[in-house]
Structure 1
Amino acid sequence: MGTVYSSASMSLDGYIAYEDDNPGALFDWYEAGDIEVPTAMESLTFHLTAESARYVRRLTSRLGALVVGRRLFDVTDGWRGRHPYDVPVVVATHDRPAGWSYPGSGNFHFVTDGITAAVAVARSLAGDLDVSVAAGEMASQALESGLLDEVRVDLVPVILGSGRPYFTGGDTWRLGDPTTRIEAKRVTHLVYPVHR
């Protein structure tokens, strides 16, 4: 069985986007190099440094499914039926979207029974591969429910000042020392184990 982790590009002050969901300069590292890393979306190709390209390729080669919340699903319009990493997407939501349909949308699974059920569905879809839980509310719920094995941070040298935090809620969590620390242009990739 694979690892369950959360992952996000994060500012130095802990935000993953502005209040309007715009990531601003947090995604600049996806264009900081000259190594082309194509995605499943024809219109989206990353241009990464060698360090970031190795990190992203290793991450995506092990990724079997993604868990997101309804907010991210709506902001991205469900990636028009195909996530850039071309994996099944489990959407944790209170209400299934009505009338949403794109080619490939059969790869999207809507779960209304909470984060534990959503991660269970993602694990079954991923098989022996990893499951990524998108940041914000979903990552917070997964952490508080004891479902995360790792927290991954793409730390960007930007201070947003306000916005949407990587984690919400008031609980204090002490993670283990980083098992991965990769310095790259405009980003430091960090992986922290979660101790239960």
Structure 2
Amino acid sequence: MSKVVAIMSMSLDGYVADLNDGVTEVFDWYFNSGDVAFHAGGADPMTFKVSAPSAEHLRALWSELGAVLTGRRTFDKAEGWGGNHAWGPAFVLTHHIPAGWPRPNPNVHFVTDGIESAVKQAKAAAGGKSVGVHGADTIQQLLNAGLLDAIRVDIAALLLGSGVRLFDHLADAPAVLGSPRVIAGIGVTHLRYPVRKAGSNDRAS
């Protein structure tokens, strides 16, 4: 059964980007935390250089994912991933479809009728695999709607001090999560928490 999984890199003090939407510091571990090469796909492939534990973490993550769900802010910042996201079909939650889209044969789709429709479409496209979620606002919407199954957060070894927080606008707090799985990398700690729902247990991740 397809699961909806939040996937973000975050500073220890809870920021996923700086005040200008910059992510260089929180993403630095992808490129400067080791000597193991990990090749990402998509229209603009990148090669990450990470520690062995982080490479194992990324291999498992990439194999799990079949689609991605994100917000318009992340889509704009990523310049639409060149029309081809590395995790498969991408579904962008937005009020208005941007100029120049949709493009011929893209794997980027726009959802204008709400978060529940976006989840339904992304799950259908994922082919039984998980749907990875980018973007603080989209993740908050999913949590508030009870539509998120797990949170994968990569805690970068830094304190950013200010910027965009991952969990700023939660409707029902405190939100108690299940027990985490922990992978210690170099310059980063990978955590995965199941999101507890009514009638569930913390082994649902």
Aligned to 1:35: 36
Stretches of 4+ moved more than 2 A in 1?
A: 100-104
1:67 matched to 2:69? The reply is: yes
Deviations 1:83-134, CA, capped at 9 Å, x for gaps: 2x24110000000112146675x20110001111111100000021000111
Q: Contact (CA 8 Å) 1:67, 1:91: kept in 2 or not?
A: yes
Distance, in Å, in 2 between the alignment partners of 1:35 and 1:24 is 20
Distance, in Å, in 1 between the alignment partners of 2:170 and 2:107 is 34
Aligned to 2:70, the other structure's residue is in SS state strand
TM-score of the two chains, using structure 1 as the length reference: 0.93
- 1:42: Cα distance to partner? 4.8
1:141 matched to 2:141? The reply is: yes
1:156 matched to 2:163? The reply is: no
Q: Counterpart amino acid of 1:156?
A: A
- 1:168: Cα distance to partner? 2.6
Deviations 1:8-49, CA, capped at 9 Å, x for gaps: 111111000012111131111112111111112455111111
Q: Report the identity percentage.
A: 45
TM-score of the two chains, using structure 2 as the length reference: 0.89
Number of corresponding residues: 193
Distance, in Å, in 2 between the alignment partners of 1:170 and 1:86 is 27
Distance, in Å, in 2 between the alignment partners of 1:70 and 1:38 is 26
Q: Contact (CA 8 Å) 2:44, 2:82: kept in 1 or not?
A: no
Aligned to 2:83: 81
- 1:177: Cα distance to partner? 1.8
Unaligned runs of 5+ in 1: none
Aligned to 1:74, the other structure's residue is in SS state helix
Distance, in Å, in 1 between the alignment partners of 2:168 and 2:20 is 16
Indicate which of 50, 53, 56 corresponds to 1:48. Answer: 50
Unaligned runs of 5+ in 2: 198-205
Aligned to 2:192, the other structure's residue is in SS state strand
Q: Contact (CA 8 Å) 2:140, 2:170: kept in 1 or not?
A: no
Q: Counterpart amino acid of 1:182?
A: I
- 1:135: Cα distance to partner? 3.0
Change (3 A) 1:43 1:5: closer
Aligned to 2:200: none
Q: Counterpart amino acid of 1:70?
A: R
- 1:145: Cα distance to partner? 0.6
Aligned to 1:139, the other structure's residue is in SS state helix
1:169 matched to 2:169? The reply is: yes
